[in-house]
Amino acid sequence: MNTIGTTILGSPRIGPDRELKRAMERYWAGRIDAAELLAAGRSLRTRAWTGQRDAGLDSIPSGTFSHYDHVLDTAELFGALPERFTSLGLSPLDTYFAAARGVQDAPALEMTKWFDTNYHYLVPELGPDTKFTLTGSKPLDEYREARALGIETRPVLVGPVTFLLLAKSTAPGFAPLELLDELLPAYAELLRRLRDEGVEWVQLDEPAFAGDRTNAELNALTRAYHVLAKAQDRPKILVAGYFGGLGRGLGVLARSPIEAVAVDLVTDQSFVDAVAAEGALRDKEVLAGVVDGRNVWRTDPDRALEKARKLLGTAAAVSVSTSCSLLHVPYDVERETSLDARVKGWLAFARQKVDEVVLLGRALREEDADLAAARGAVADRATATEVTDPRVRERLAALRPEDAARPPYEQRAAAQQAELGLPPLPTTTIGSFPQTTDVRKARAALRSGELDEAGYVATMHTEIERVVRLQEELGLDVLVHGEPERNDMVQYFAEQLDGFAATESGWVQSYGSRCVRPPILFGDVSRPAPMTVPWARYAQQLSEKPVKGMLTGPVTILAWSFVRDDQPPAETALQVALAIRDEVADLEAAGVRVVQVDEPALRELLPLRAAGHEAYFAWAVRAFRVATSGAADTTQVHTHMCYSEFGEVLPAIDALDADVTSIEAARSKMEVLDDLSGAGFARGVGPGVYDIHSPRVPGVEEMADLLRTAVAAVPAGRLWVNPDCGLKTRGYAEVSPALENLVAAARQVRAEQ
């Protein structure tokens, strides 16, 4: 059997120096032409392929590059872009970008999270009339391009079932999966053309099967791979499942006449046993995904080999791979110059993971493989005093149930009303105000050393005072300081907490040209000093009105960081929660009477399978409550979430027991309140009435109408009036009139009560 051998399921594509981001943005700004943009992509692909070849991978993926998003690439490939883009008369490249970013009169495709990662994909829009034809040639072009470099590659595509499951229906009562029989011939045609080119293996990704799937969906998987495998002229087919075990999908793939299956043996540690027990894999190659594609830790070679060896003898061949594409990790840890040397020794980014795969592949084949360095790094991390802080451990062990509980809401609400004396329908904002050039410049100048600490503090104070005065003039009831000192709501805290490290070049694509640089949570977390108190104190003493202290919650801090894999997230979250709990206490001592703990990522970490939800909610809720329940009855605890479709998260939001929850609702026209009132949500709630994602300034009547809808579901005494989210991406030209209208709308509806 001609096997795949060692490989990775995909690689980062934005460029080690974010070259693709820069090229895209220049192209959009009209500063370079299409040829230059395409050249930038070509050069990144060449670097990726030659690097992987030189590292010694047996099989190198192609087609994992994208000018924006791989799901959009798939829709384009099969001629499934909505007509509102194809009718614009633009070049194929500009049509593609129009779908990604929107143009006047043709709003972009929706964007949503790629499974439980921080990557966002563009949601295809499919209806009963959608016709698929192989109109694009990206997989063929990239295969040829690599071939011209002398590199044989394995084209990678989103699989047909996952593609349809990720799409959004454009017609009521219609499920895109109904299009499977339409779509399969287009895939088969592509496979035939790839084979004509000389492609030996093709990889079809079906990560949708890491989640719970219905019988109909499993049948679709069966059907898809029987149809595709039946095609006469085709490359050998590898189907990749990742982001978790394949569940019943494993058996389906095992019984399909395909040649290889890639399995994620990292996310679900017990999945390896299911794979080993799957007798029907005997005639297939299995790619053992033992190198974590989503996290940054060096692989423990012995644990990885133990898993891979369990599969030996159960499949026709066993090779080593990553658990998923390396899209989710930064390029190269060697680029980091200021990381603590010891911590750096524990890390593997994409380049290092390729080396790990090659090394483990050799060891699995019992070829010469020196595992000493890998073992040494893992042992060093396991015993490092930087990782384990006995004081944190003791505090955690001493936590009692009452540390996660506050007195009943009614008692708190009365105490808070006496303390704050707020009117019905109180007005507030979510935290950040527009980040002006002065503010950004001051932060950069502090970093580069051009501005000293005193100069920086003075600039921030001026900004905070301006924002506080503006809110007083506008007549808002609960003020904020505007968050000018924050680069990012997680990074700001990570930089100040022990147990976190920051990277310089650790960029990861979030969507399109947007990248994030997640902090690395490597050790027990503690707070050496207050993180927000001086700013909050300064802001509060400027005004008679309450100014909210603004914090980020433990779940969101975990969700947007690379988190340690040597203890359960529940424990890590509690450590972060204790640090926040101390910050809340210090804020209270500084005279702050309202504290907001943002948890916009509460839904993000929700496990893909329902079986994991309860355990997740238990730790997520406990962490939030430990963070907030040290607050006095008189302290009003707010939280904030940036989405409106609560669904399964609703009971958890309720269980957070925050006094006030602000949520996104402007775009969903208050439909969210049906959910909330139906669920008996009986505390303060602030459904956003101002959509901050748009430059539009909403009018007084428009917001008053939303509030009138809202008071029908939530009594005025518990209804808050606020925007959907923070204002940092907007400009004052929009924000000032919008908030003026918001206050006017609140007053109007207040008077009607």
User: Residue 118 and residue 508: Cα distance in Å, rounded?
Assistant: 9
Tally DSSP H helices, then E strands, for the chain. Answer: 28, 21
The maximal CA–CA distance of the chain, rounded, in angstroms, is 81
Q: Does 600 bind ligand GLN (CB under 6 A)?
A: yes
**Whether 88 contacts 106, CB under 8 Å:** yes
Dihedral sign, Cα of residue 71, residue 74, residue 78, residue 81: positive
Q: Is 324 annotated as a binding residue?
A: no
Please give the backbone phi and psi of residue 263, each rounded to the nearest 5 degrees, phi first.
Answer: -120, 140
Report CA-CA distances (Å) from 75 to 78, 80, 246, 327, 490: 5, 5, 24, 20, 34
Scanning 111-119, 581-589, 594-602, 670-678 for contacts with Zn ion by CB under 5 A, the matching segment is 594-602
> Which one of Zn ion, ligand GLN, none is in contact with 70 (Cβ closer than 5 to 8 A by kind)?
none
Judged by CB under 6 A, the stretch of 47-55, 428-436, 559-567, 710-718 that binds ligand GLN is 428-436
Binding characters for ligand GLN, 647-686, by CB under 6 A (x = yes): ----------------------------------------
Q: Which residues contact 446 (CB under 8 A, 6 or more apart)?
A: 452, 453, 456
DSSP, collapsed to helix, strand or coil, labels residue 702 as helix
C-alpha–C-alpha distance, residues 421 and 508, integer Å: 46
Between CA 51 and CA 43 the distance in angstroms is 12
- Kindly state whether residue 479 participates in binding ligand GLN, applying the rule CB under 6 A: no
Verify binding: residue 69, ligand GLN, rule CB under 6 A. Answer: no
Candidates 226, 613, 638, 693; catalytic one? 693
Local structure of 217: helix, strand or coil? helix
Query: Is 380 marked as binding a ligand?
Result: no
Residues 722-741 that bind Zn ion (CB under 5 A): 725
728 binds, among ligand GLN, Zn ion, none (CB under 5 to 8 A by kind): ligand GLN
Is the CB of residue 478 less than 8 Å from the CB of residue 545?
Answer: yes
CB of 425 to Zn ion, least distance (A): 20
State the sign of the Cα–Cα–Cα–Cα dihedral 131, 137, 140, 146.
negative
Residue 506 known to bind ligand: no
- Tell me: does residue 640 bind ligand GLN (CB under 6 A): yes
Q: Cα–Cα–Cα angle for 93, 96, 102, nearest 5°?
A: 125
**Binding segment toward ligand GLN, per CB under 6 A, in 87-95, 235-243, 429-437, 615-623:** 429-437
Cα 520 to Cα 355: distance, rounded to the nearest angstrom: 21
Are the C-beta atoms of residues 553 and 627 closer than 8 Å to each other? yes
Tell whether residue 662 is among the known ligand binding residues.
no
Pairing of strands 562-563, 236-240: unpaired
How many residues are present in the chain?
753
Q: Is 642 in the site for Zn ion (CB under 5 A)?
A: yes
Region of 25-33, 216-224, 430-438, 694-702 interacting with ligand GLN (CB under 6 A): 430-438
> Which of 286, 606, 642, 746: binder of ligand GLN (CB under 6 A)?
642
227 binds Zn ion (CB under 5 A): no
Between residues 523 and 600, which has the closer beta carbon with respect to ligand GLN? 600
* Nearest by Cα to 218 from 185, 184, 255, 244: 255
Question: According to the annotation, is 200 in a ligand binding site?
Answer: no
Give the residue at shortest CB distance from ligand GLN. 726
Please state the closest distance from residue 726 (CB atom) to ligand GLN, in A. Answer: 2
Establish whether 693 is a catalytic residue: yes
Quote the least distance from Cβ 640 to Zn ion, whole Å. Answer: 6
Q: Which stretch binds ligand GLN (CB under 6 A): 22-30, 462-470, 666-674, 722-730?
A: 722-730
Task: Kindly state the tokens that stand for 268.
Answer: 């679900």
Residue numbering of the annotated binding site: 18-21, 113, 118, 430-432, 483, 514-515, 560, 598, 604, 640, 642, 664, 725
Residue numbering of the annotated binding site for L-homocysteine: 430-432, 483, 598
Active site residues: 693
Interface contacts to ligand GLN, rule CB under 6 A: 430-432, 483, 489, 550, 598, 600, 640, 642, 725-726, 728
Residue numbering of the annotated binding site for 5-methyltetrahydropteroyltri-L-glutamate: 18-21, 113, 118, 514-515, 560, 604
Interface contacts to Zn ion, rule CB under 5 A: 600, 642, 725
